[in-house]
Amino acid sequence: MIRKRLGRLAFYLLIAGIIFYAVFPFYWAIVSSLKTGTSLFQVEFWPSNPTVANYVALFEEQPFARNIINSLVVAVVATGISLFLSVTSAYALGRIRFRGRTSMLMIILSVSMFPQIAVLSGLFELIRAIGLYDTLSGLVLANLILTLPFVTWVLTTFMREMPRELEQAAIVDGANDWRILTRVFLPIMGPALSATGLLAFILAWNEFMFALTFTLSTEQRTVPVAIALISGATAYELPWGKVMAACVIVTVPLIVLVLVLQRYIISGLTAGAVKG
Amino acid sequence: MPAAQPHSAARNLVSAMPGSMSGRVGRTLEQQRTRVAWLFVAPMLAAVALVAAWPLARTIAFSFTDAYLSDLESWAAIGFANYIALFEDPLWWQAVWTTLLFTVTSVGLETLFGLAIALTLNAHMPGRGLLRAAVLIPWAIPTVISAKMWGWMLHDLYGVVNAALLKLGLIDAPWAWLAEPRLAFAAVVAVDVWKATPFMTLLILAALQVLPKEIYQAGKVDGVPPIRMFLRVTLPLIRPALLVAVIFRGLDAMRVFDVIYVLTGNNPATTTMSVYARQQLVDFQDVGYGSAAATSLFLIVAIATAIVITVGRVNVSATGERR
Amino acid sequence: MLRIFAVAAAILVVNAGLSANARAEVTISISCSSLGIEQQLCKSSSDAWAKATGNKVKLVSTPADANERLALYQTMLAAQAKDIDVFQIDVIWPAILAPHLMDLTAMLSEQDRSDHFKVLVDNNTVDGKLVAVPWFMDAGLLYYRKDLLEKYGKEVPKTWTELTDTAKAIMEGEKQAGKSGLQGYVWQGRAYEGLTCNALEWIASYGGGSIVNADGEVTIDNPQAAQALDMAKNWIGTISPKGVLSYSEEESRGVFQSGNAVFMRNWPYAWALANADDSPVKGKVGVAVLPHGEGPDARNASALGGQNLAVSSYSAHPEEAADLVRYLTSAQEQKRRALEGSFNPTLRSLYSDTELLTANPFYEDFLPIVESAVPRPSTVTGRRYNQVSSAFVRTVHGTLSGQRTASAVLVDLNKELERLSRGGKW
């Protein structure tokens, strides 16, 4: 009994350690965002003269609110399109046997095997050719190259693991594939959909290289680019306090998103759904 | 592309259909389902082809030329010359080994940590929602920025890491985290683990959530120890999702760029394949050679992925029918 | 799900509408820094030009990080994009970007051309074409702590040996006084372009040349260069912290500005920051030319940095764009930028301008530093400069982090660079 308790204690200590590791840098970002000038070069676990000057400057000096909205639009639309396209294909790839499916999965995966910098120029030409340069739609398109393979693969895996009984019951009832997908599988895929959706959202939200290269005007910039564009009085100086303030601000929407999605992540497969 | 062969248990759908159907009827049904499958897959395939076909084909094509960024229109086909030069470059092989070592260590640690956190978060406890959000934070910060932030924290003289370690008496002089080759590698791995563990956690958590709870209740009644329960029941059940998470993390780790570039620059001790390829493509403007490096990176990643898929027995082809 | 799709479609439509804006007058796009005084100056100057000429100017903000900026420029120029007319380019880029840039020789009057520092004009001249006009410049400086030198009765070091000895003496003295965290000398040792500047300064100051000479011959394998690298290697762990091998400009400024170093090598930008109101070393900082080495060819050497303005060959309005460059680089504009933002002019005459000298007394000392500035061999090595610099950085960083001796690695570097140079043709 004592050994068991000790084991449990050690496990929770490990967890506490990992959580500290995960959260401390963010705490440090908050502390740094409240400092200016030389105090940034000093280690203080709470700033002696906290100031919100960095936050104020951020919104005054550039259309930072606009950047956040741009990022939201790009990430939401790219995630939405990815989920929409992937759900049907995941059903086909995960539940229907047909020739060429394995190679199809492999080809989709291979899209994720090239370094981003290598596809940059080609995508740049493509986006200009379609006339989407310097638009958010162009960015959405570019982000699909990152999110689509990922979402398709994860959803296919989850779809494949769904209990066979669910489907059989529906087939016996004479349901077609669309019905099976939307009425039987989708309702119980909540955790998978929200987790992949969240990860894809963050992929698109954080994407930097495409966003920098495929947009030009300040009004179309997304958050990571806006942060990279924060510079000091000269090219060498790094206005650390402002960068950290921006970092804190852009993380907040994501935390809210997680809290909102919480319900779906938890609900999961209710016991009733598997009784088939 | 090498891949697992179709699972025999899932030979075809017909065999799994209710007994009344067979022969001719089954075949037309199979054809019909194949048509449905293609219909369902087509939009996604079209989207992937639209965004990826040209950029990828272009890169592969350029790898057989001597194209230079200053004038992309005049190039000559030079066969495999770029690849031969690449394979003769010791720096490339050093980058390959660094990348593989980096991938194995960081993805390994991420998987362990991810499992531990996911199992904890899966249990019912107060404040679980907030904890989930908290654990996800590292993944939510753009890499360019989080890498810079770590660079700041790992500064030998005014960084918080050394300050804390000194205060705790764990070290007696500041460590030069990002300067000494071995420490620099460890630091880069630590930052990547910090950054990507949430990815693992979230996917594993999703897999845990779809597990039928009845099994656990049964196990509890029978008094099976939790560790055994985990190894015998949980792990096999979440294995498919876990492996997909490992594959995608592996793909990212093998193409790692930002973290390394921001933390250590072009330090040879931490140069990875992506850093190498980018240097050739952008800094040196050698589109031909850089494309060859990018394509080789692609091939190495493909081989590594194939190995993981084979060893991990990822069921690429079977459908849910096998249950 | 469908709703999301509908939103996506709506955005596509709106975007298409926005980008189809009609353009009536000539609009010139110029890449500028995105924030702070640099952006304000860029905007006000461009607006003044726009008003005077009846055109419009659009600012495009580009990242401050040189590598990101170069990658962006190259992607755009390789695709022959017309979206940016005027590019702000680093001193080491003219040869790399030259094929995409217009010849601006005709834009500079004979008088202006002779007033610009020759070293800059030469740097920006590629195959007889002036591809970029100098806008502002930088040179490596030695920052020192006046108060500490006074306390220990030391002079500002003239040679590296003096610097080493002084740093050691002060560190020792302060250690005995209980301040053990003090470092002697901080500089930029990270494996990046900044290390090229630092190492080039040491080597040139020993008379070891500048990696490749003006005729394109590789000259790096010489005893003076080895001596210079050995000197720097000895600093690490004695007067410089081991971590200096991961420092870029800001990391070294952080150490110096928080009062933890006697000497620092940095660009002029650190001056204003070290003397800011909240700086612990405010008023205690002095600036001097970097020390020289030993031996018959020893000299003072500062690496040359700075930014130029160039016009894209794909510009739809090359004449207006060139005129904007002429305006922005004129003496009047450079003076304004020097007064309001401490951007160092590239015109010699401005360094004797009384108004500027009053505002910026440090310009008096800056002139000799500029005169001794060493350009990196970016023009002679043309499009291969980044390869040269990267091989150089790899070698120097490897030596400094202690694996091999300087004389041994320089032989290898020399061979590698000679192979790159294709017999001096580059």
Longest dimension (CA), chain B: 80
Cβ-Cβ contacts under 8 Å, C78 against chain B: 69-70, 72
In a domain? residue A104: yes
In a domain? residue A276: no
Chains in contact with C via at least 3 Cβ–Cβ pairs below 8 Å: A, B
From the CA of C71, how many Å to the nearest CA of chain B? 6
Closest residue in A to C256 (Cα) is A41
Of B102 and A16, which is predicted with more confidence? B102
∠ CA(B302), CA(B304), CA(B306), 5° rounding? 70
| Domain extent at residue C171 | 141-303+376-420
In a domain? residue C426: no
* Pick from C36, C267, C280: CB nearest A233: C36
Q: Are residues C69 and C177 in the same domain?
A: no
Q: Are residues A156 and A200 in the same domain?
A: yes
- At B174, the pLDDT band (50, 70, 90 cuts) reads confident
Is residue C231 pLDDT above 60, yes or no? yes
Q: Are residues C155 and C18 in the same domain?
A: no
* Pick from C5, C38, C71: CB nearest A234: C38
**pTM score:** 0.86
Q: Residue C120's closest CA among C91, C143, C98?
A: C91
Q: Do B273 and A32 touch (CB under 8 A)?
A: no
Q: Do B55 and A123 touch (CB under 8 A)?
A: yes
CATH of the domain at A108: 1.10.3720.10
| Mean pLDDT calculated for residue range A34-40 | 81
Chains in contact with A via at least 3 Cβ–Cβ pairs below 8 Å: B, C
The pLDDT, as a whole number, for residue B317 is 52
Neighbours of C237 (CB within 10 A): 12
Is B2 near chain C, with CB under 8 Å? no
Cβ-Cβ contacts under 8 Å, B144 against chain A: 208, 224, 227-228
In a domain? residue A275: no
Structure tokens at B312: 């991990």
Q: Do B184 and C390 touch (CB under 8 A)?
A: no
Please state, in angstroms and rounded to a whole number, the distance separating the CA atoms of residues C282 and A81. Answer: 56
The pLDDT, as a whole number, for residue A272 is 34
Q: Are residues A131 and A1 in the same domain?
A: no
Q: Are residues C289 and C149 in the same domain?
A: yes
The pLDDT, as a whole number, for residue C146 is 94
Domains, chain B, ordered by start: 6-62 (no CATH), 81-322 (1.10.3720.10)
The pLDDT, as a whole number, for residue B320 is 46
How long a stretch of residues is chain B? 323
Q: Do B68 and C383 touch (CB under 8 A)?
A: yes
In a domain? residue A241: yes
In a domain? residue A44: yes
Is residue B313 pLDDT above 80, yes or no? no
Is C238 near chain B, with CB under 8 Å? no
The pLDDT, as a whole number, for residue B22 is 44
Cβ-Cβ contacts under 8 Å, B184 against chain C: 246
Q: Are residues A178 and A251 in the same domain?
A: yes
Cβ-Cβ contacts under 8 Å, C78 against chain A: 121
Contacts of C403 (CB under 8 A, 6+ apart): none
Percentage of chain B lying above the pLDDT 70 cut: 87
pLDDT (tens digit per residue) in B33-71: 888 888 999 999 999 999 999 999 999 999 999 988 877
- At C21, the pLDDT band (50, 70, 90 cuts) reads very low
The pLDDT, as a whole number, for residue A18 is 80
CATH of the domain at C197: 3.40.190.10
| Domain extent at residue A24 | 1-51
Is residue B97 pLDDT above 90, yes or no? yes
Please state, in angstroms and rounded to a whole number, the distance separating the CA atoms of residues C330 and C347. Answer: 9
In a domain? residue A240: yes
Q: Do C242 and B155 touch (CB under 8 A)?
A: no
* Pick from A18, A114, A159: CB nearest B294: A114
Q: Do C4 and A125 touch (CB under 8 A)?
A: no
Q: Residue B101's closest CA among B322, B271, B323, B292?
A: B271
- The residue of A32, A36, A38 whose CB has the most chain C CBs within 10 angstroms, and thus the best one to mutate to test that interface, is A38
From the CA of B161, how many Å to the nearest CA of chain C? 14
In a domain? residue C425: no
Domain count, chain C: 2
The pLDDT, as a whole number, for residue B316 is 58
The pLDDT, as a whole number, for residue A184 is 84
Q: Are residues A29 and A71 in the same domain?
A: no
pLDDT (tens digit per residue) in C126-140: 989 999 999 999 899
From the CA of A10, how many Å to the nearest CA of chain C? 35
| Mean pLDDT calculated for residue range C319-343 | 90
Is residue A76 pLDDT above 50, yes or no? yes
Q: Are residues C243 and C188 in the same domain?
A: yes
| Mean pLDDT calculated for residue range C342-367 | 86
| Mean pLDDT calculated for residue range C210-216 | 91
Q: Do A239 and C249 touch (CB under 8 A)?
A: no
Q: How many CB pairs under 8 A join B and C?
A: 94
- At B322, the pLDDT band (50, 70, 90 cuts) reads very low
Q: Are residues C409 and C279 in the same domain?
A: yes
Q: Are residues A44 and A180 in the same domain?
A: no
pLDDT (tens digit per residue) in B189-244: 999 999 999 999 988 988 887 777 777 777 777 777 877 888 888 888 888 889 98
Q: How many CB pairs under 8 A join A and C?
A: 139
Phi/psi at C240 (5° precision): -115, 140
**Which 107-166 residues of chain A touch chain B by CB within 8 A?**
107-123, 125-126, 141-142, 144-145, 148-150, 152-154, 157-164
Q: Do A18 and B113 touch (CB under 8 A)?
A: yes
Is residue A78 pLDDT above 80, yes or no? yes
* Pick from A41, A140, A233: CB nearest C38: A233
Of C389 and C67, which is predicted with more confidence? C389
In a domain? residue C80: yes
Q: What is the 3-state secondary structure (H, E, C) of chain C?
A: CHHHHHHHHHHHHHHHHHHCCCCCCCEEEEEECCCHHHHHHHHHHHHHHHHHHCCEEEEEECCCCHHHHHHHHHHHHHCCCCCCCEEEEECCCHHHHHHHECCCHHHCCHHHHHHECHHHHHHHEECCEECCEEEEEEECEEEEEHHHHHHCCCCCCCEHHHHHHHHHHHHHHHHHCCCCCCEEEECCCCCCHHHHHHHHHHHHHCCCCCCECCCCCECCCCHHHHHHHHHHHHHECCCECHHHHHCCHHHHHHHHHCCCEEEEEECCHHHHHHCCCCCCCCCCEEEECCCECCCCCCCCCEEEEEEEEEEECCCCCHHHHHHHHHHHCCHHHHHHHHHHHCCECCEHHHHHCHHHHHHCCCHHHHHHHHHCEECCCCCCCHHHHHHHHHHHHHHHHHHHCCCCCHHHHHHHHHHHHHHHHCCCCC
pLDDT (tens digit per residue) in A156-183: 988 888 888 888 888 888 888 888 888 8
Q: Are residues A222 and A256 in the same domain?
A: yes
Percentage of chain C lying above the pLDDT 70 cut: 93
The pLDDT, as a whole number, for residue C143 is 94
Give the helix ranges, DSSP H, for chain A: 2-33, 53-61, 64-95, 101-110, 116-130, 136-160, 164-172, 177-179, 190-206, 209-214, 223-229, 240-267
Q: How many CB pairs under 8 A join A and B?
A: 338
The pLDDT, as a whole number, for residue B169 is 87
pLDDT (tens digit per residue) in B72-87: 888 888 999 999 999 9
Question: Beta partners for C143?
Answer: C264, C287
Most confident option among B30-39, B167-176, C185-194: C185-194
Average per-residue pLDDT for chain C = 87
Percentage of chain A lying above the pLDDT 90 cut: 23
* Pick from C5, C18, C61: CB nearest A229: C61
Q: Are residues C284 and C405 in the same domain?
A: yes
The pLDDT, as a whole number, for residue A273 is 39
The pLDDT, as a whole number, for residue B6 is 38
Q: Are residues A41 and A74 in the same domain?
A: no
Q: Are residues A12 and A122 in the same domain?
A: no
| Mean pLDDT calculated for residue range C393-403 | 88
Cβ-Cβ contacts under 8 Å, A241 against chain B: none
- At B1, the pLDDT band (50, 70, 90 cuts) reads very low
Q: Are residues C107 and C40 in the same domain?
A: yes
| Mean pLDDT calculated for residue range A28-39 | 86
Lowest mean pLDDT among A49-58, A126-135, C307-316: A49-58
Cβ-Cβ contacts under 8 Å, C83 against chain A: 133-134, 216
Is residue C313 pLDDT above 90, yes or no? yes
Chains in contact with B via at least 3 Cβ–Cβ pairs below 8 Å: A, C
Is residue C96 pLDDT above 80, yes or no? yes
Do B114 and B200 touch, CB atoms closer than 8 A?
Answer: yes
Domain count, chain A: 2
In a domain? residue A129: yes
pLDDT (tens digit per residue) in A99-139: 888 888 889 999 989 888 889 889 998 998 999 998 999 99
Q: Are residues A36 and A138 in the same domain?
A: no
In a domain? residue A77: yes
Average per-residue pLDDT for chain B = 82
Is B225 near chain C, with CB under 8 Å? no
Closest residue in A to B200 (Cα) is A199
- Domain boundary among the residues C331, C353, C370 is at C370
Q: Are residues C285 and C380 in the same domain?
A: yes
Q: Are residues A26 and A70 in the same domain?
A: no
Phi/psi at C27 (5° precision): -115, 125
The pLDDT, as a whole number, for residue B36 is 86
* Pick from A141, A153, A162: CB nearest B51: A141
* Pick from A42, A92, A199: CB nearest B40: A92
Q: Are residues C360 and C296 in the same domain?
A: no
Closest residue in C to B173 (Cα) is C181
* Pick from C78, C241, C258: CB nearest B156: C241
Is A270 near chain B, with CB under 8 Å? no
* Pick from B174, B282, B285: CB nearest C383: B285
Q: Are residues C7 and C73 in the same domain?
A: yes
Q: Are residues A110 and A4 in the same domain?
A: no
Is C142 near chain B, with CB under 8 Å? no
| Mean pLDDT calculated for residue range C204-213 | 93
Q: Do A94 and B319 touch (CB under 8 A)?
A: yes
* Pick from A73, A134, A234: CB nearest C11: A73
Q: Do B129 and A259 touch (CB under 8 A)?
A: yes
